[in-house]
Amino acid sequence: MEQKNHISTALFANPREDWLALVDEDVADPGRIIVDSHHHFWDLPVSRYMVEEFLADVNSGHAISSSVYVECKSMYRSDGPMNRRSVGEVEFVRSVAEASENDHVGSSRICSAIVGGVDFRTLGDEAEDILVSLVEAGKGRLRGIRQPSNWTADRTIGPVMPDRPPYLLLDEKFRQGFFWLSRVGLSFDAFIFHPQIPDLIDLATAFPDTKIVLDHLGGPIGVVRSETLQEDVFNEWRVLINELAKCPNVSIKLGGLGSKFAGFDFHSREKPPSSDQAAEAWRPFIETAIEAFGTKRSMFESNFPPDKGTCSYRTLWNAFKKIAASFSEDEKDDLFSGTARAFYRL
């Protein structure tokens, strides 16, 4: 396997275990069943987050029943045709899932669903073949595909990434490949920044039979650089989110605000945020998204390890539980597990 990770470390802060340990909380609502709808594995020179690290977080107190692994260009095959090397990531994660399923010691079944990676822009009409190969590699666990398309001209947010042109979701060849998703029974995870939401609306409208989930609340960028910018960005994001919610084939993941691109500065403070502090900061975005999409199309995500640069796994889920405290039991079941189960067919 080849560690081929193209995620820019400029987008997130590297986790620091000693710093995270400065905040230690009891688990809120410990009996609440959770499906972690979004996490990764990678082994980078500056950051390692593999099965052992994820299991340590999963076993830190919350009732995690299962998880969804989302591609991050990790553990690719080291040889063979370039457009087939992403099969290695699915094969690796499937082996993790099988080991978890056979382990009768813990209650968590990690990587129950897998979202693999494909470059539709280079494959176009030839995408069907690689999609079938990924389905076969997943042995019943592959549920969707993600091709990150997050792009911004603001170089303070992230570096130029050649594989992500400004209008990827509108690209004709990308859409030729995207066409095959619903034909082979797969969904699409969309990773964008909020100014790109109109492109996603166009894509969702053009392919109404393809299930799409918007990762990380649509990537609201730079929300707290200044009070004026914070209000402007939030209002712009809110309008776009409400427009996107009109697309019935689109759902949303509630999370990702721990990444640096969101603009919150928790990672640079002397101590990590408490769950109360995180909940206060994130609540406007999460409540707005739930109001727009409803609980049947909204699901919480850890987005670990990127969001681990801001707070611990225990703190993160405590914050989500506090944000959702006013919802009914049925609505909480949707947000923490039911929507993810339905979308990813767990």
pLDDT digits (tens, 9 = 90+) for 179-191: 999 999 999 999 9
| Beta-bridge partners for 70 | 115
Spatial distance between the Cα atoms of 76 and 68, rounded to a whole number of angstroms: 18
Kind and range of the H or E element at 249? none
Spatial distance between the Cα atoms of 4 and 166, rounded to a whole number of angstroms: 22
pLDDT recorded at residue 41: 97
pLDDT recorded at residue 45: 86
Q: What is the pLDDT of residues 186-219, one digit of tens each?
A: 999 999 999 999 999 999 999 999 999 999 999 9
pLDDT value at 4 more than 50: no
pLDDT value at 95 more than 60: yes
Spatial distance between the Cα atoms of 138 and 260, rounded to a whole number of angstroms: 32
pLDDT recorded at residue 13: 87
Token pair, residue 2, equals: 């080849």
CATH superfamily of 17-23+31-344: Metal-dependent hydrolases (3.20.20.140)
Q: What is the pLDDT of residues 267-301, one digit of tens each?
A: 989 999 999 999 999 999 999 999 999 999 999 99
pLDDT recorded at residue 106: 60
> Any idea which of 150-164, 217-231, 243-257 has the lowest mean pLDDT?
217-231
DSSP β-ladder status, 250-254 and 187-190: unpaired
pLDDT value at 158 more than 70: no
Tell me which amino acid residue 194 is: H
pLDDT value at 137 more than 80: yes
> Any idea which of 14-18, 222-226, 277-281, 292-296 has the lowest mean pLDDT?
222-226
> Any idea which of 28-37, 230-239, 317-326, 336-345 has the lowest mean pLDDT?
230-239
pLDDT recorded at residue 330: 98
- Give the number of residues written for the chain: 346
Nearest Cα residue to 193 out of 133, 140, 236, 248: 236
Q: Which are the contacts of 164, defined by CB distance < 8 A and separation ≥ 6?
A: 148, 149, 150, 151
Rg from Cα positions in the chain: 19
294's torsion region: left (phi>0), alpha (psi -120 to 50) or beta? left
